[in-house]
Amino acid sequence: MTADLLLTGARLATMAGPAGLGVVENGMIAVAAGRIAWAGPRAEAPEIAAAERFDCAGRWVTPGLVDCHTHLVFAGNRADEFARRLAGESYADIARSGGGIAATVRATRAAEEAALLAASVKRLDALLAEGVTTVEIKSGYGLDEETELRQLRVARRLAEARPVSVAATYLGAHAVPPGGDRAAYLDLVCERMIPRIAAEGLADAVDVFQEGIAFRAEECKRVFVAARAAGLPVKSHADQLSDGGGAALAAAHGALSADHLEYTNADGAAAMARAGTVAVLLPGAFLMLNETRKPPIAAFRAAGTRMAVATDLNPGSSPIASPRVAATLACVLFGMTVDEVLRGFTIEAARALGRAERIGSIEAGKDADLAVWSVDTLSELVAQIGPSPLFMRLHNGVRA
């Protein structure tokens, strides 16, 4: 076998298999043409002629992290709302008074594409510094044709500006546009935007925010049907602030994931497991909104619902550009195990993007997206908040 690069002396957390970390001591990874050509224990390795070798000196290697839920393309910030919440207003109160998502919509509409790109690159760089190699990015801060398309174009351009894979998601159904008519807006989303975005390849999935302050079940259903008809998979912000049956609705439409899920009930968890809909847990939003109702982790475990974790990086509910902080919060606040969150930021997150065939584990044939960590144990990745222990990141086999 020939390889462009051979990593030796690595402790691998491959994430291969249905559960656990797939640990391989004294492992090797051969990279050829941007893919993993071989991975496993040195003792079982075939003859490999490598153009370049790199000794990991006992460091841990994981799949590159996958942040499967972000809203990182936006302008402005909402630090003023943080202060308002501290003074007693709720997230929903602020949204109803014209703040919240609507505030970011105003700032994003006013930002030119170059400015939006520059602001977004900074946030993306923070994720890359912690080993992210694939990031999902939602629109939803334009809520008009021109700005939604601009957000999606910026998401695509980020994949050219930096060595990272981007999954772009159209979240037109994030909120009713300020001053807009909800029926007319849903017509625009379903009849014009979704077909256009699908035809132009500007998004890889379609998302909705199903909530009292956003869209009702039947409205989300209409968006799901339009997206599937256009050949795009769907996702949902479900049951974040109330139990609206969002998890079950997403599952019924074959959603890749349902996200947030603080109020999801056991039936919803079981429906997700049956449909293969991944539960994406977002502890950053739970923390910053000072929520008390936790997602039903025990019900997900009992039902066999797959669980991912993500930053939800956005200017309002989760201004947290750190997958490691999100992972720590998922353990401390939601009671997830270290193994669950490590799978949740790799293979299960890949599944939540419909990309588990390409990324998320260290297995022959997958993209050579890898993170090499200067830690003695994998728990160290999660057990402390502070400087990034990332030693090296490879995206498509290239050190970057």
Q: Which two tokens stand for residue 23?
A: 């640990």
Q: Where are the alpha helices (DSSP H) in 230-357?
A: 246-252, 266-275, 283-288, 297-303, 323-334, 338-344, 347-352
> Could you tell which of Fe ion, ligand NIG, none binds residue 100, using a CB distance below 5 to 8 A set by kind?
ligand NIG
* In contact, 101 and 141? CB cutoff 8 Å: yes
Least Å from the CB of residue 245 to ligand NIG = 16
CA-angle at 249, arms to 247 and 252, nearest 5°: 110
Q: Is 100 in the site for ligand NIG (CB under 6 A)?
A: yes
Query: What is the rounded CA–CA span in Å between residue 391 and residue 61?
Result: 10
* In contact, 223 and 206? CB cutoff 8 Å: yes
**Tokens 């999606």 belong to residue:** 152
Interface positions, 211-270, toward ligand NIG (CB under 6 A):
237, 240
Query: Strand runs (DSSP E) across the chain, as ranges?
Result: 2-13, 23-32, 35-41, 49-55, 60-63, 65-67, 132-138, 165-173, 205-209, 234-238, 257-260, 278-281, 307-309, 370-373, 390-395, 398-399
Is position 240 annotated in a ligand binding site? Answer: yes
Window contacting ligand NIG (CB under 6 A); options: 115-123, 153-161, 243-251, 316-324? 316-324
Measured from the CB atom, is 116 or 313 closer to Fe ion?
313
Q: Is 277 in the site for ligand NIG (CB under 6 A)?
A: no
Q: Where are the alpha helices (DSSP H) in 139-275?
A: 145-161, 182-187, 194-200, 217-229, 246-252, 266-275
Q: How far is CA 31 from the centre of its chain?
A: 25
Least Å from the CB of residue 220 to ligand NIG = 13
For residue 387, count other CB atoms closer than 10 A to its CB: 7
Q: Is 316 in the site for ligand NIG (CB under 6 A)?
A: yes
Measured from the CB atom, is 22 or 246 closer to ligand NIG?
246
Among 38, 209, 263, 286, binds ligand NIG (CB under 6 A): 209
Among 14, 62, 104, 169, binds ligand NIG (CB under 6 A): 104
- Nearest to Fe ion by Cβ — which residue? 312
> Could you tell which of Fe ion, ligand NIG, none binds residue 315, using a CB distance below 5 to 8 A set by kind?
ligand NIG
Is position 312 annotated in a ligand binding site? Answer: yes
Is position 71 annotated in a ligand binding site? Answer: yes
Interface positions, 305-334, toward Fe ion (CB under 5 A):
312
Measured from the CB atom, is 317 or 322 closer to ligand NIG?
317
Is position 69 annotated in a ligand binding site? Answer: yes
Q: Is 170 in the site for ligand NIG (CB under 6 A)?
A: no
Is position 174 annotated in a ligand binding site? Answer: yes
Q: Which two tokens stand for residue 305?
A: 């619902």
* CA torsion, ordered 333, 336, 340, 346, to nearest 10 deg: -10
Query: What is the rounded CA–CA span in Å between residue 210 and residue 229?
Result: 20
Measured from the CB atom, is 39 or 66 closer to ligand NIG?
66
Q: What is the contact surface with ligand NIG in residues (CB under 6 A)?
A: 71, 100-101, 104, 209, 237, 240, 285, 312, 314-318
Binding site as annotated, residues: 69, 71, 78, 141, 174, 237, 240, 312, 314, 316-317
Q: What is the contact surface with Fe ion in residues (CB under 5 A)?
A: 312
Binding site as annotated, residues for Fe(3+): 69, 71, 237, 312
